[in-house]
Amino acid sequence: MANGRWRSARRRRRPGVSPGLLLGGNTGATGLAYGPLVTIVDPAPLADLLGYVGAATPITTAPPVSAPSAVPSEPASPDGQPAGAGRGGAVNSVVNAVWATGGSAATDRDAALDAAFLAASARYWHPVARAADVGAAPVRAELCDVPLVLWRRPASAPGGAAGTVAALVDRCPHRSVPLSGGQVDADGRVRCPYHSWAFDGAGACVDIPQQPGQKIPDLIAARPVRVAEAAGLVWACLADEADEARPRPRFGEIEDLAWPHYVGTVQNWNGQAARQVENFCDIGHFSVLHTDTFGNDEVLAVDPYPVRRTEWTVEADYRYPSVNPVAEPGPDGRRPVGETAFQYRIELPFAVWLGGATGPSTVLFSVCAPTSATTLRLYWMAAFDPAVYGDGPVDGVGLQAVEDRIWAPDKVIVESQRPARVFAADEIHRAFDALGVAYRKALRELGFAG
């Protein structure tokens, strides 16, 4: 989990700013004392733990979200196809059409869990690429087991579409060849590599070279996918606009305030998206898994902390005595320690806004997209308040180097978890797991467990 980071390679310092404040999380100069730590030993069952979460601060439960009719309530059919696939419903035909091809599942339970997880996920916006990685050549992506093709329309594209991103399901309706293997023409249409049929961003087939001049029936079309570009990422939603669960999460520091920022390298994990979010927000593992970076192995105990719930967020704050991951050890062999004030805001279902992780007046965004029910693509970015750090460019190389050292052990842990599906697990919870327990509860309420 990529938290509690001090930075030396971050941004140039604005004159007059205390160097101590530029060491991420170092508030020692303010005189704040890190109080005694207490481990909560609580053998209570999960239901009582959920009560503990609510006891710290009232939780406003999100209004019930009715599950789309495409979410099956029964086990998958023997061929692995979700039982609800192909029946229509709130999730549009993009999902049903792809799932209708079937697949294998280890067990009926896992198949049912996967179908529910994917159907729920399909109603949200997820990143499918970094904006900088989408150009005039087609780019293949994957979201909820649905293959996509993305491309950016060239400057020569007509109708004011120049520079905008388009997305289709990555399949030509003629002979089922992936459109991502083709090319984008001067008018901004993607052409199939097999017969060069051309499709516009709405999916309409607009040219069949083998039948020049003939009218093309409307039924000859690729399946369009709604797409948006924001915060350095390209986002997609597989549901129709009327059926999406919530608007795309907004990252105001980048989108509205234009803070200088860096968009990190994309990672592929063989783990479930819910597992990654829970790992990212797990306070109890800092001092065990990350002792080579920011983790403080002298402080393993975790203080109780309140958790807040709003309609679309799960939130918590925690102060942690972080170790500087880039500082040289002192005469005692220890690196400097300073208090980091973490501010967690999980934007349901799979995005996290984390204040303070890379220093005071900084924000780290972690957003994972479910490529399938048990795999994900991880996107992250960091933004810095120009009033504190100046408006010069972010040292992306230095930032990436430190973050890579933090993400690496988290990836190993998440990929090792069995069962991979969080809602198939029979696990024990402790009081310091309050944020993760509240997050699981929120996902259940939103239909991710079926």
**Is residue 357 within 8 Å of residue 2, measured between CB atoms?**
yes
Structure tokens, 246:
């919530």
Mean pLDDT of 372-391: 97
What whole-number percentage of the chain has pLDDT above 90? 64
Residues 203, 199: Cα–Cα separation, whole Å: 6
Residue, of 195 and 92, whose pLDDT is higher: 195
DSSP annotation of 389: H
Predicted confidence (pLDDT) at residue 282 exceeds the cutoff of 60: yes
**What average pLDDT score do residues 251-272 get?**
97
CATH superfamily of 126-243: Rieske [2Fe-2S] iron-sulphur domain (2.102.10.10)
Instruction: Report the predicted TM-score, pTM, of the whole model to 2 decimal places.
Output: 0.78
Average pLDDT over residues 353-370: 94
Equal CATH topology for 19-60+248-441 and 126-243: no
Of 366, 357, 411, residue with least CA distance to 384: 357
Provide the pLDDT for residue 201. Answer: 96
Per-domain residue ranges of the chain: 19-60+248-441, 66-123, 126-243
Amino acid 10: pLDDT? 38
Q: What is the pLDDT of residue 44?
A: 36
In the predicted model, is pLDDT for residue 93 greater than 90?
A: no
Ranking 264-273, 301-310, 332-341, 431-440 by mean pLDDT, the lowest is 332-341
Classify domain 19-60+248-441 at the CATH topology level. Answer: Naphthalene 1,2-dioxygenase Alpha Subunit; Chain A, domain 1 (3.90.380)
pLDDT tier at 106, thresholds 50, 70, 90: low
Calpha distance 346→281 (Å, rounded):
9
**Residue 9: which pLDDT band, with cuts at 50, 70 and 90?**
very low
